Amino acid sequence: MDNLLRPIYQERASHPDTLAVLMIERRSKASSITDNFDAVMLVIVKQAEEPLFIKHYEFEHKTASLHIVTDALLQEWILLGTNRRVIDWIINGKVLFDRNEYIAELADRLSTFPFAERKLKIGMEYGKLIRRFVEGKAFFEADHFLDAYYAVVHALHHLARIEVIDRGFYPETTVWNQVRHIEPQVYKLYSELVESHESLEKRLELLFLANDFLIHSKAEIGSAHLFQVMKEKEMWQFGELLQHPELAHFTQDLGVMLDYLTEKGFIEVSQIETKGQEVYHRGYSFKKSVDADL
């Protein structure tokens, strides 16, 4: 495979903007890691006209795909978890070219998983967890059990990723295999939801009770990044939090997250006068009593 692809990656490696070239070979007949291609070549560049460019090749009854991605997009994938295969590619891929130890340093960062980045990712997952839980409960109460099931499965995935990240690992595509060894309690909840012979309504009812407890138990680590931002001043309006650069990736779930943390007593709400009579802005501040636990 190397010999066949060498002309392609050597051409890319010679470009001054290229930071690294990796090759990921197919490991099984059905391979989601490579999209069933026999090999994937990942070329990471400093900058490009398109942040992601993909080409497909065929040769001697084999197939390969070439992915050219900018460093900025790669970092976004790692931070947001929007392309979890890339973690596998970086850790397990064969390094064909590595300018100034770019891949070596990136792999080291993935293995150490800096605490600040971990806290940010947990906060993002926690917001998604709350949203899915709230959506699922609303569906359940309206007797839309299949929609509730779909939402709860997603909520459990976010809970699973929180457990993995909190232990210092990046969630991979096989996150449930990770969770089985890291936090059996969460794995058991997932198994009971998908494998139990109870009625779907009964399974969901039990899951919502367990999830409510688990979400509350994760409130401190889940909100740590948000509270770190909120410590910058005494009170915030929602629009101010939305505009804060440290919360740029929380936009979609920030409202439901604030509502949940207010309901559970982690955040206080104050009324701020407006020009309208008996109409107030909401001001948010974290309770000092929980500060010591964060």
Instruction: Tell me what pLDDT residue 235 has.
Output: 92
Distances (CA, A) of 232 to 95, 198, 222, 288: 43, 49, 18, 13
How many C-beta atoms lie closer than 10 Å to residue 182's C-beta?
Answer: 16
Residue 4 has pLDDT above 80, yes or no: no
Of 212, 228, 213, 215, the C-alpha closest to 119 is 228
Instruction: Tell me what pLDDT residue 205 has.
Output: 92
**Residue burial 34-62, b: 16+ Cβ < 10 Å; e: rest:** beebbbbbbbbbeebeeeeeeeebeeeee
Q: What is the mean pLDDT of residues 176-187?
A: 90
Q: What is the mean pLDDT of residues 41-70?
A: 92
Instruction: Tell me what pLDDT residue 61 has.
Output: 85
Q: What is the mean pLDDT of residues 169-185?
A: 86
Q: State the first-to-last Cα distance of the chain, in angstroms, to the nearest integer.
A: 51
CA atoms within 13 A on the CB side of 89: 27
Per the rule left: phi > 0, alpha: psi between -120 and 50, beta: everything else, 130 is alpha
Of 151, 129, 146, 132, the C-alpha closest to 201 is 146
pLDDT tens-digit map of 116-129: 899 999 999 999 99
Architecture of domain 2-112: 2-Layer Sandwich (3.30)
Residue 171 has pLDDT above 90, yes or no: no
pTM summary value? 0.84
How many C-beta atoms lie closer than 10 Å to residue 93's C-beta?
Answer: 21
Domain 2-112 and domain 115-291 have a common topology: no
CA distance 135 to 138: 5
Architecture of domain 115-291: Up-down Bundle (1.20)
As a whole number, the mean pLDDT across the chain is: 89
Q: What is the mean pLDDT of residues 25-34?
A: 79
Instruction: Tell me what pLDDT residue 114 has.
Output: 86
Instruction: Tell me what pLDDT residue 196 has.
Output: 87
Looking at the DSSP assignment, which residues form a beta bridge with residue 22? Answer: 42, 95
Sheet holding 18-25, edge to edge: 52-59, 62-70, 39-45, 18-25, 94-98
What does the radius of gyration of the chain's CA atoms come to, in whole angstroms?
23
Q: What is the mean pLDDT of residues 130-147?
A: 96
Q: What is the mean pLDDT of residues 52-79?
A: 92
Instruction: Tell me what pLDDT residue 46 has.
Output: 95
Q: Break the chain into its structural domains and give their ranges.
A: 2-112, 115-291
Of 204, 44, 79, the C-alpha closest to 138 is 204
Residue 292 has pLDDT above 60, yes or no: no
Instruction: Tell me what pLDDT residue 40 has.
Output: 92
pLDDT tens-digit map of 73-122: 999 999 888 888 898 899 889 999 999 999 999 999 888 888 889 999 99
pLDDT tens-digit map of 230-268: 999 999 999 999 999 999 999 899 999 999 999 999 999
Phi, psi of 286 (to 5 degrees): -80, 145
